[in-house]
């Protein structure tokens, strides 16, 4: 009987200790947050494209990231729609060479020292959501990558998929918020 009670006590205490340790690990995970975007919620109209029949504000969202890995030397931001009817989806925003001491970007903001490469809109900077009418719900993945290199050797005119591949080749961590949008 004593062995059973001791076993139950050990399991109980072990669970408390393990839970506490997991809470600490969770606190130290690279994390992306936003006051503008809510994960798996509808994209605000301010982040929708203005043009091609869409009437949004075409403004990039506010993003904040915390707890990057210790070996982080820079960051990159990618906004990608994998549901677009185009090979490799549609790239709405690519920002590279964000200094390692930066932890946020304001809504509609720019980051000094960074480089915004060309998007699938054939423009530089943020291009909001504007999927084809009747194509269903699209997922807009806003991802911040922690990179192991200070500056990516990349042209501002690099094709979006090429830019993303270069980002991925140096990524040590990433965090994503997915926003949804549909045109009926």
Residue 129 pLDDT: 98
Beta-bridge partners for 115: 96
Q: What are phi and psi of 177, to 5 degrees?
A: -120, 130
Model confidence at 72: pLDDT above 60 = yes
Tens-place pLDDT, residues 109-124: 999 999 999 999 999 9
Tens-place pLDDT, residues 149-174: 999 999 999 999 999 999 999 999 99
- The residue ranges of every structural domain in the chain are 30-181
pTM assigned to the model = 0.85
Distance between CA 126 and CA 79 in Å, rounded? 8
Percent of the chain having pLDDT more than 70?
85
Confidence tier at 1 by pLDDT (50, 70, 90): low
Question: Which stretches does DSSP call E strand in the chain?
Answer: 31-33, 41-42, 50-51, 54-55, 63-66, 74-81, 90-99, 104-105, 115-116, 138-147, 171-181
Tens-place pLDDT, residues 17-27: 333 433 344 45
| Fold category of 30-181 in CATH | Phosphatidylethanolamine-binding Protein (3.90.280)
Tens-place pLDDT, residues 53-71: 999 999 999 999 999 999 9
| Mean pLDDT across 87-103 | 98
Burial of residue 5, with CB atoms counted within 10 A of its CB: 0-12 exposed, 13-18 middle, 19 or more buried: exposed
| Mean pLDDT across 42-58 | 97
């Amino acid at each position: 009987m004593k062995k059973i009670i001791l076993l139950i006590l050990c399991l109980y205490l072990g669970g408390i200790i393990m839970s506490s340790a997991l809470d600490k690990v969770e606190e130290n995970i690279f994390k992306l947050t936003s006051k503008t975007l809510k994960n798996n919620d509808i994209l605000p109209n301010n982040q929708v494209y203005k043009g091609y029949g869409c009437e949004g504000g075409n403004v990039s969202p506010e993003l904040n990231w915390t707890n990057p890995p210790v070996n982080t030397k820079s960051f990159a931001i990618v906004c990608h729609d994998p549901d677009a009817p185009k090979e490799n989806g549609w790239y709405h925003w690519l920002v590279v060479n964000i200094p390692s001491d930066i932890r946020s970007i304001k809504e509609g903001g720019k980051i000094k020292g960074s480089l915004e490469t060309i998007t699938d809109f054939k423009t530089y900077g943020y291009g909001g959501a504007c999927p084809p009418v009747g194509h269903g719900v699209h997922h807009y993945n806003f991802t911040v990558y922690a990179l192991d290199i200070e500056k990516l050797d990349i042209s501002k005119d690099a094709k979006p998929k090429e830019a993303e591949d270069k980002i991925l080749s140096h990524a040590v961590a990433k965090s994503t918020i997915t926003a949804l949008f549909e045109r009926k």
